[in-house]
Amino acid sequence: LKHRIVRNVPSLDPAIAAGLRAVGVATAHEAQGRSGLMDAVLRPVVPEAEVAGRAITVLVPAGDNWMIQAAVELCVPGDVLVVATISPCTDGMIGEMLAVSLRARGVVGVVIDAGCRDVRALRRMGFPIWSRAISAQGTVKASPGSINVPVVCAGVRVHPGDAVIADDDGVVVVPRAEAAAVLAASQARVAREDMLREKFARGEPSPSFEASRERLAATGIVWIDREEGDD
C-alpha cells in the first residue's frame, strides 16, 4: 500500500455544481436516498457559506499537513478540498496561508475531518471551511499520505471527482455518476417544497400526515382528552 498522488481527476460540470449548491445539503441528501451525509461533527467556520464542487481528496497522517501543501497544485477552479486523516486529529491543519493559496487556484472551500485555524482571517476572506475543530495547533510536514485516492471522511466514502455540497446544515457527497440525477431529483423536491411551504404557511395540514392517519390509528395509539387533575 504505497502512498500515491493521483493526477487527472475527472471534471464536474460547473452547471451541476452550481445547481447542487443552490438546492443545498438537506435537499440533495434526501434526493439521493439519504446517503452520503458526513458526520454532524463537521461545522462551518464561515457562517452562511454555501459551496458545491468537485472533490480533490487528501489523506493525511494525524498532525501532519504536508499532503495538503502538496495538493494545492492539483486543484483547479471550482474544486472542494476534502481532507481525511489516518487517525483522529483536531490540530489546526489548515489556516490562512493555505487558504490564500487554495483561493488563488480557484478552490471554493475545504472540508476537513480535523481542525483549522486563523478563523478570523478566513471569515474576513470569506473562504469557507467545514471542520471538526478550531485549533491553533500547528502541524509538521514529515510523513507522506495520499492525494486523490478514495477516502473515508467524517464517515462518508469520497472518491476524487465526486460532488461535495456544504452549507450550514453540514456536508454531503454525491457520487459523480449520480450527480446529474441527484440534481434533477433535488430540483423536483425543491419545487414540491415551494408548493408545500405556501400551503403550510396558510396553516393547511401536511398531505403526507393526512395520508398516514389511518396507519397511525392502526398502531394502537389512543387519542384521549386530559381530565382535570391528571398529571
What the block records as the C-alpha cell of 172 is 454531503
Question: In the complex, what is the shortest distance from the CB of residue 192 to a second copy, in angstroms, rounded to a whole number?
Answer: 10
Question: In the complex, what is the shortest distance from the CB of residue 215 to a second copy, in angstroms, rounded to a whole number?
Answer: 9
Select 16 or 158, whichever has its Cβ closest to a second copy: 158
Question: In the complex, what is the shortest distance from the CB of residue 231 to a second copy, in angstroms, rounded to a whole number?
Answer: 6
What the block records as the C-alpha cell of 155 is 464517515
Residues 143 and 61 sit within 8 Å (Cβ to Cβ)? yes
Question: In the complex, what is the shortest distance from the CB of residue 116 to a second copy, in angstroms, rounded to a whole number?
Answer: 9
Question: In the complex, what is the shortest distance from the CB of residue 46 to a second copy, in angstroms, rounded to a whole number?
Answer: 11
Phi, psi angle pair for 175, to nearest 5°: -55, 140
Select 14 or 199, whichever has its Cβ closest to a second copy: 199
Select 24 or 78, whichever has its Cβ closest to a second copy: 24
Exposed/middle/buried for residue 107 (C-beta within 10 Å: 0-12, 13-18, 19+): buried
**Beta-carbon contacts of residue 208 (< 8 Å; ≥ 6 apart):** none
The span from the CA of 171 to the CA of 146, in Å, is: 22
Residue holding cell 441528501?
Answer: 29
**Beta-carbon contacts of residue 27 (< 8 Å; ≥ 6 apart):** 186, 189, 190, 193
Name the DSSP class of 105: T
Select 10 or 126, whichever has its Cβ closest to a second copy: 10
Select 133 or 183, whichever has its Cβ closest to a second copy: 133
